[in-house]
Amino acid sequence: MSRPRIGLAGVGTLGARHAQALAGLAAAEDAPLSFSGVFDLRAERAEAAARAHGTTAFMTYEALLADCDGVVVATPTVAHRAAALTALAAGKGVFVEKPIAESLESARAIVQAAQGRPLFVGHSERFNPAVRAAKDVASRPRYIEARRLAGFSPRATDVDVVLDLMIHDIDLVLALTGERPARVHAIGVAVLTESEDLANAWLEFPSGTVAALTASRVSPERLRKLRVFSDHAYLSLDLLAGKAEAAFADHVRLAEAARAYAHHAAHAAGAVAAPPAALPDWTDLLERRTLVAPEPSAQPLVLELEAFARAVATGTAAPSGRFDLATGEQGLAALEVAEDVRRALRERAARWPS
């Protein structure tokens, strides 16, 4: 299968972005896919999307599946289970937007139904240029800090900020650490909706790594930043700008500097008679570097859908690499940790006065 036929279920706010990306990929030179068409419960919305992108509007989901090899599920989260299970039963590859499902029960049912078929979840930050630039040096993290702030929008108020925004950073943290957290602490506040609009989470991992996550959808500023402190490097990722910077430690010079400072302290205490040499400037002991992604100007969603098309074409169910397509199992893991955070939010809220 050289050019898999990819269909799209759901052309709402997020689905419209998928439609645009799929149409662009289908029209490109050496196109990696053909855009077979769209389906939406609102027929007029499907027809408008089809006209805009030169594809077909299908009147039933089953008709769309009959004309494609893989399907992108961009329906509301509560409909993910039914759409994914129907597509998998028809033998199609499935790409379902995050979170994988509205509940752990539904997510586990989807993963179990895949049975080795391509099943992926739309954790698109894995394809952010900043993440792709830093992925080869982001190893052995000791402390991770993520801040994701956005203004209020009625788009996803059916879920709290953990499932709306924080789950992106949960997925990145799980990919960075390769572990599941052993302890989870969290606090959250409902501001404009009846569920948490602002949340902070503290994740402790068996290796000793700690991740501090902040997510807000009621912020006056937009911010998506990730900082990673490891044994050998400090990484600063601006996910909104798609830029990554790193500072690497020169261990030999650091050891020399440490001895110089120790000698200085000993001389000050009168333990040694020899005066200390000139102390080095700590900022000179770090190599600072701007990291560049393989495709610095490519949109994460476009790269993600292109990777999905390749997986459908080859029947690949488990891409290699920590920051490749998120598999169904990885999407389930992110949802499980998100549910741990939400449980910690509820437990803490229960201890507060009404």
Question: Residue 55: what residue type?
Answer: T
pLDDT at position 283 over 80: no
Instruction: Judge residue 199's burial from the number of C-beta atoms within 10 Å of its C-beta, 0-12 exposed, 13-18 middle, 19 or more buried.
Output: buried
In 150-222, DSSP assigns E strands to: 183-189, 198-204, 210-216
pLDDT at position 25 over 80: yes
pLDDT at position 224 over 90: yes
CB 130 within 8 A of CB 228: no
> Which pLDDT score is estimated for 90?
97
How confident is the prediction for the chain on average, in pLDDT?
90
pLDDT at position 312 over 60: yes
Residues 6+ apart with CB under 8 A from 237: 128, 130, 131, 134, 225, 226, 227, 228, 243, 244
What would the DSSP string read from start to end of 92-105?
-EEEEESSS-SSHH
CB 162 within 8 A of CB 340: no
Q: Which CATH architecture best describes the domain 127-249+286-297+336-350?
A: 2-Layer Sandwich (3.30)
Please give the CATH number for the structural domain made up of 5-125+300-323: 3.40.50.720
In 85-204, DSSP assigns E strands to: 93-97, 119-122, 141-149, 183-189, 198-204
Spatial distance between the Cα atoms of 240 and 253, rounded to a whole number of angstroms: 34
Q: Which range among 92-106, 227-241, 287-301, 337-351 shows the weakest confidence by mean pLDDT?
A: 287-301
- The domain limits of the chain are 5-125+300-323, 127-249+286-297+336-350, 251-282
> Could you report the per-residue pLDDT of 142-163, keeping only the tens digit for each?
999 999 999 988 766 677 899 9
Q: How confident is residue 175, by pLDDT bands cut at 50, 70 and 90? A: very high
CB 247 within 8 A of CB 233: yes
User: Average pLDDT for residues 173-180, to the nearest whole number?
Assistant: 95
